Structure 1
Amino acid sequence: MTRAALFDVDGTLVDTNHLHVVSWWEAFRQAGHRVPTHDIHRAVGRPAEDLIAHVLGEDRDKDEDDSLSDAHKTLYGTYFERLTAFASAGELLRTLAGQGRQVVLVTSAEGTELAALRRAIDAEDAITATGSAEDVEQGKPAPEPVEQALESVGAAPSDAVFVGDTVWDMKAATRAGVPCVGLLCGGIPRSDLEEAGAKAVFRDPADLLAHLDDSPFGPDG
């Protein structure tokens, strides 16, 4: 039996959600779109195309998607050297790895962005595998990223727990049959996470670590 701990990264392990919001807001502004940051925040965690569709609508000029995505990447890239993990994020991963779980990062980030996130977490010794946007055709809330993560370490859904901070994380894990834990540090309300399928909700990685035995990672989870 292979036990796995699957983790979203942005807003879950690293404090980046609001940096993404500001970067997307500026990308939209530069393209002549006035959009509320609240709408952007609700879509963070989805692939770029889906986020743009959520904010601008399906009837938008889709020829603009690539330039908006490129602008966001450029703006967000200015933060790479300053990204900060949430307190105890690395310790949480090392603790779970020490308990025999295969730790897998499940993220839409790739390339230099993913490398910057991993540097911020600073727990390379605990991470078994990473699934990025390059590995799947559909991002969250589709189950494919979670299913790919399970396959990468040979774990069954019932032997894994997924930790994330958005409704898209909860929906992806639930659709893949994996119990999920929600964290509030990404800025999404507890009620939204629970409605989307979270079995338990904690404040942040430090809070989850402090209550690990009472979470789905615990003996009675």
Structure 2
Amino acid sequence: MCIWDSWLLTRLYADADQRADLRALLDRYDKVREAYPLYNPCWPSPTLYTRELLRIQDLAAKKDVPALVALCQKRRPTDRGSELEYEDELFCSAAAEALAGLGGPEVEAIKSALNNKPKVTSWLLYALGRSRAAGALEALKDLAGRDPGDDRDFSDCLAYALALQGEPGKQILKRLAEQDPEKNRAARRWLEEKAQPVWLEVPGPRVKAGSLPKSLPEVPK
């Protein structure tokens, strides 16, 4: 199961208020998989992505801001472009989306984390860009005056986050493009390009509560 399938599945089951049913389906699948060597390759279970995305949803439901902030900064030492880096980026992005949807408590927590100058800032900035909480845009505006230091991605990620804030963010980008040579390139890019969220919205009506499958078909013996 690819990450997109996992994201769509967790999104649908969350909309249907059936996260517990999805978790039971995953448990059932893994139990069957263990019983049949043919379905038990060396790689981790195909349910891995779905389980991690469910865990992130659970953290959001509990409004566990510190845990989500920590996940946004999680990056294992690995080669650039490797499967591990790909997984980390996807889970970080899911945590950032969850953080952005909390409606307020995320802003101060993200500002505090960024003040500690962490190694990974991109997804914290993204969460501010996606947040519609009061103070998110102001936090990004304040960060625009910060020296990025050795963080090579900071300027581009900040400009992207500002672009995600729509017209108010673009007004700040225009000023950056005119005033700050260091941020000029990134600001110009996101003034010209349309900023899209990492996880695009699913078109169409949302599923009804309790309408999704609750069990798997029996496996023939």
Give the TM-score of the pair, scaled to structure 2: 0.29
Higher relative contact order (CA 8 A, sep 6+): 1
Greater fraction of residues in strand: 1
Bigger radius of gyration among the two? 2
Greater fraction of residues in helix: 2
